[in-house]
Amino acid sequence: MGDVKRALTGVRVVDLTRILAGPFCTQMLGDHGADVIKIESLDGDETRRWGPPFSRDGMSAYFQGVNRNKRSLALDLSNPAGQSVLLRMLRDADVLIENFKAGQMEKWGLGYDATLRDRFPSLIYAQITGYGSDGPLAGRPGFDAIAQVMSGLASINGTPDGPPVRVGTPISDLAAAFYATNAILMALYERVQSGIGQKVEVSLLDCSVSLLHPHAANYFMTGEAPGRIGNAHPNIAPYEMFQTANGFIFIAGGNDRQFQKLVALLGRADLATDPRFSNNAVRKANDTVLTSVLATLLIEKDGVVLADQLLENGVPAGSVLEIPEALNHPQVRFRDMVVEDGNYRGIGVPVKLSRTPGQPKFSPPHLGEHAHSILTEAGYGDTEIKELFRLKVAGNTVVSEVT
């Protein structure tokens, strides 16, 4: 996949995370040049076995999707010898990130406050938990779907007459990954000035609650609990999914000018001066009627052509694409949002930096693939490395789960 100068070149990240939030965070750091060392248990990150589908060499699609640009070392951190290996590796690390249950690192004698802060004063220690390191739920395991339902996200997702619905992507995990990445970068920036590291923490529940806009803002102002409104928007009309002659189209007429253009292009310019629809406040008050009128106008339209026409005229609109269609869309391809290298295919890097662009440099690693080189960099000789393997403190087994 080539090599270019990247924004985080020279930053070393020791990655103790597994599943999704942590690995997605460290993949983003790796995409922008950080040297990410993924330390897994001897059994490996459990998502290696989350399939099908599996690649021809036994790697699950789930694992492959969030673990590129990393080197892998299998290490038993429950063993004091494994803990010693980690401590030696931290001498050259800028960031340690973990997503164990709150308190696990302390049980191993590797807690930030008790051990790592004084021993490695410049270290950025990043922690991702389900509910936080303190409070009544601290220490309980975190899961994306549970964070979605406990935060209120599921309560506003779905149709008015249907049950709460989980968002189709693991949005709580993904949001925690984005927040953790931002927190690490903020701490690295502050360290340039102070020379001192710090602990940064995000939780799935906290991050999920932060995504409640504008529903929480509306609730704070009115005291009324938000409900499920399907594809509609609580503050804007029109904002809805419509059936056309050849598929679905989404239209978001967020301001009066956009609404005027929309109805003009639909041949009903008079709707813009209808007292029920003349501004957003009255449109929202009459959104059931408005949706019905627009649905009648759109049902026989070519949705693909209309969406392009509306967007070209400044009206937010898009025809609904299936995932294969989206990944092959000319704009997505032009922006390098699909990367292909040999047998590896993945999502591209969304952050575009002009001088130091991110880059998918190498494919996700097999379990323990880089054990020898990582341990050598930490100062271990060949004899010591063989002994770590013999004692099952470290491992370099390539896992294959295809059955």
pLDDT at 149: 98
Q: What mean pLDDT comes out for the span 282-301?
A: 97
* Residue 138 CB neighbour total at 10 angstroms: 15
Per-residue model confidence (pLDDT) at position 399: 41
Residue partners of 56: CB distance under 8 A and separation at least 6: 343, 402
Look over the chain and give the mean of its residue pLDDT values, rounded to a whole number.
95
Distance CA 246, CA 243 (A): 8
* CATH level 3 topology of 239-327: formyl-coa transferase, domain 3 (3.30.1540)
Residue 365's closest CA among 6, 32, 5, 36?
A: 36
pLDDT digits (tens, 9 = 90+) for 252-265: 987 999 999 999 99
pLDDT at 283 over 50: yes
If one looks up domain 12-211+341-395 in CATH, what number appears?
A: 3.40.50.10540
Helix residue ranges, H only, 37-79? 61-64
Please say if the pLDDT value at position 1 is more than 90.
Answer: no
Predicted local confidence at residue 397, as pLDDT: 62
**pLDDT above 70: percentage of residues in the chain:** 98
pLDDT, residue 402, reads 33
Q: CB neighbours (10 Å) of residue 165? A: 16
* Active-site residue (options: 173, 206, 274, 287): 173
Q: Is the pLDDT of residue 396 over 80?
A: no
pLDDT tens column, 216-241: 999 999 999 999 999 999 999 999 99
Q: Which residues contact 121 (CB under 8 A, 6 or more apart)?
A: 196, 197
Contact (Cβ atoms closer than 8 angstroms) between residue 85 and residue 378: yes
Q: What is the pLDDT of residues 73-112, one digit of tens each?
A: 999 999 999 999 999 999 999 999 999 999 999 999 999 9
For residue 288, how many other CB atoms are within 10 A of its CB?
A: 9
At CA 9, angle to CA 4 and CA 15, rounded to 5?
Answer: 120
| 24 confidence band (pLDDT: 50, 70, 90) | very high
Q: CA–CA separation, 367 vs 43, rounded Å?
A: 8
Residue 388 has pLDDT above 70, yes or no: yes
pLDDT for the residue numbered 3: 60
Q: Domains of the chain: which residue ranges?
A: 12-211+341-395, 239-327
| Average pLDDT value for residue range 21-46 | 98
pLDDT at 403 over 80: no
Query: pLDDT, tens digit, for every residue of 311-343?
Result: 999 999 999 999 999 999 999 999 999 999 888
pLDDT digits (tens, 9 = 90+) for 370-385: 999 999 999 999 999 9
| 344, pLDDT greater than 80 | yes
Q: What is the mean pLDDT of residues 63-82?
A: 98
Structure tokens at 255: 């301001």
Q: How large is the average pLDDT for residues 148-172?
A: 97
Q: Say how far apart CA 320 and CA 265 lie, in whole Å.
A: 20
Of all helices (H) and strands (E), which one includes residue 1? none
Neighbours of 318 (CB within 10 A): 16
Biggest alpha carbon distance in the chain? 84
Q: What is the pTM of this model?
A: 0.94
- Active site includes 134? no
What number is the average pLDDT over the span 18-23?
Answer: 98
